Chains A and B, each alone.
Chain A
Amino acid sequence: MLTTPRSYPKSWVEWTAIVIAAIIVLTAVFGGLLAPHDPLVIDFRAKLLPPSGTHWMGTDGAGRDVLSRLLTGAQLTLLSTLSVIAVVLVIGCTIGIFSAFVGGWVDNLLMRLADIWLGFPPLILALGFAAAMGASLQAAIWALVFSWWPTYARLSRMITKDILSAKYIAAADTLGVPAWRKVVLYVLPNAFDVLIIQVTLDIAAVMLAISGLSFIGVGAQIPTPEWGAMIADGRDYVRNGWWIVIFPGLAIFFTALSFNIIGDMLRRELDPTSQRRA
């Protein structure tokens, strides 16, 4: 619970994850300023250069500096991930909490709708969005928003139902606490732990999804320095330019992994239902 912050000893893996996540977040904020070269400038005289003193991570097939693209791309990748999560969190929780409060057939209808929605493959949705809006990062973001909200709707509905059946809500009823105050003062603070865990775990998942969509070509397009798109662009050069694929790949790998580890760590420390806590 939030009210009893108990610290568990963190392992070196978790400390590493925290450090990596911090570096990634800092990179996302300041990455563009640190980039030694312009990430978009094409220089065919300098194409497919291996890592060296001037180009630490080499250059890609069009002579763009991979490190600069990676640093600039951090912002793009993290920002689009966070915007997906933020929108999905607001939409999902609004629907979920509303559904739990109203109950009855409205609740049933909304939740079945969420179930059906959840059954719809996000890839098909993304292709649909790409077809309608033109393949772009925005299309990928919208596709993910549309396919991700049911998770949060169902989660927040479940938590809300749980909280609404708690005795402190019955006690609040005897004071005449109106519904909107219950949401703000009772449901949201008590749902916070579970939601923050889900958000941390989803950061990794959404980031992978965005990069994945960009990789198959329905997301960000070259020359946008998005990590997935960079890999897609570099795969033609794998034989004579491994660095083009490896570095963005490692970036995705470490980001996803460290956020996942942090999510698991938060779950252990915050989630009262977690087994490991006992």
Chain B
Amino acid sequence: MMTAPAPEMTTETDPAMTPLLDLSDVTIALRQNDRKMVTGVSLSVMPREVFGIVGESGSGKTLFTRTVFGLHEDTYLAGGTVRFNGRALPLNGYRRAIKKMLGKEIGYIPQDPYSSLNPSMRVGRQLTEALYLSKGYPMRSQKAQDAAVALLAEVGIPEPELAFRQYPDQFSGGMRQRIVIAIALSQDPELMIADEPTTALDAFTQRRIMDLILERSRTRGLAVLLISHNLELLRQSVDRLGVLYGGQLLNVAATADIGAREIHPYTQALFDCVPGRDKRLADIASIPGEPVGAGFGTTGCAFAGRCAFAQDICRSAPLVTNTDRGTGFSACVLGKGARHG
């Protein structure tokens, strides 16, 4: 039997492969005054891909994610298209449409494991509740209980039968985050959103939780959208990275490219700030100037004010958007970090 040679991954997206999540020119505005906070974001997440979104505090990454997944009350999708599995979601009533997919096709791991579990409900009950809502298992059935215990075991909780009967505050932060992950996994999602899943945890636990998320998604074949400001964690975890700054998507880069080839000056500057084993203190460069908040707009590059390469055109040219949603993208008008071929 002849087998076709596996096609090489090229910069062009494989046409046979539909992106799982496909955002085109997404603009997010505040309900209060229609101010556009995140502008012209286009990116796609492939099935089984681990995609990271990085940005400084205030860059709009959490606003962006929470709005795209319908979890933010004060903002709305003001423009653009969101496709999930090739199906476009309506812009009118977007929030309702995406919320229907939450807990089914899309799983969500919230930021703070300490307050994301109902304090007055036993862990087992929270899992059977999730299983009931997504799969219709009756909450007190043996089937639901077995599935819940299996999930607790899957996320590495020791003595899952005991944990089933305990309350959330009887667990440490890392264990609680495992429970939260078990709840998200119980939905059998295709895409898992992890919104700063490890920020509240210590460095050692961070790594273990991140490994758990990656290992579970690999085994179950999920795509992961990981939002974080922890660059090292992202570099070690994700396949590709989207960089948000001032509400603009400045760069989409394969993590393999970082340090290996030219990337967007902002992304480069971010990674230059990260302390590392092979770096001395003098090698760590801070970015001059103050960060701009989300909502910079579409005229000029949000980073121009702090960029070492900035020219006049950087401040006046319209924002370059990732229209073809290739695997790599740079919004730099000077062409820095753009992938060719």
Contact = CB atoms under 8 A, between A and B. Distances in A.
Question: Which of A168, A172, A174, A192 has the most chain B CB atoms inside 10 A of its CB?
Answer: A174
Interface in A145-177: 166-168, 170-177
Given A167-B112, A168-B116, A189-B121, A173 B133 contact: no
A175 B130 contact: yes
B104 A185 contact: no
Given A3-B120, A4-B169, A166 B115 contact: yes
A190 B110 contact: no
A174 B133 contact: no
A1 B112 contact: no
A254 interface: no
B108 interface: yes
A175 B120 contact: no
A177 B133 contact: yes
B201 interface: no
A175 B133 contact: yes
Given A170-B110, A174-B71, A2 B99 contact: no
A91 to B, nearest CB: 24
A205 B100 CA distance: 47
Contacts of A2: 120
Contacts of B180: 171
B129 interface: yes
Contacts of A185: 118, 121, 129
B252 interface: no
B183 interface: yes
Contact of B115 (A168, A173, A174, A176): A168
Interface string A190-231: 101000000000000000000000000000000000000000
B117 interface: yes
B158 interface: no
Contact of A174 (B108, B112, B118, B129): B108
A186 interface: yes
A168 B99 CA distance: 16
Contacts, number: 72
Given A167-B112, A173-B71, A190 B119 contact: yes
A1 B103 contact: no
B121 A174 contact: no
Contacts of B169: 1, 3-4
Interface residues of A, number: 21
Given A167-B112, A185-B129, A173 B119 contact: no
Contacts of A190: 118-120
Contacts of B133: 175-177
B93 to A, nearest CB: 16
A4 B19 CA distance: 47
Contacts of B119: 1, 3, 168, 190
B62 interface: no
Contacts of B234: none
B100 to A, nearest CB: 7
A236 B102 CA distance: 72
B120 A176 contact: no
A173 B130 CA distance: 11
B167 interface: yes
A175 B118 contact: no
A66 B115 CA distance: 56
A237 B233 CA distance: 85
A181 B125 CA distance: 13
Interface string A1-34: 1111000000000000000000000000000000
B292 to A, nearest CB: 27
Given A175-B133, A175-B134, A167 B110 contact: yes
A261 to B, nearest CB: 26
A181 B112 CA distance: 23
Interface in B61-104: 69, 71, 99-100, 102-104
Contact of A175 (B102, B111, B115, B168): B102
B187 interface: yes
A70 B71 CA distance: 59
A173 B102 contact: yes
A64 to B, nearest CB: 49
Question: Which of A170, A171, A172, A186 has the most chain B CB atoms inside 10 A of its CB?
Answer: A171
A185 B100 CA distance: 20
B103 A171 contact: no
B332 to A, nearest CB: 35
A173 to B, nearest CB: 6
Contacts of B130: 175
Interface string B162-193: 00000111000000000010011001000000
A170 B115 CA distance: 10
Interface of A: 1-4, 166-168, 170-177, 181, 185-186, 189-190, 192
Give the 10 A-B CB pairs with smallest separation, nearest first.
A174-B108, A189-B120, A176-B103, A167-B115, A175-B103, A171-B116, A3-B167, A168-B118, A167-B116, A174-B102
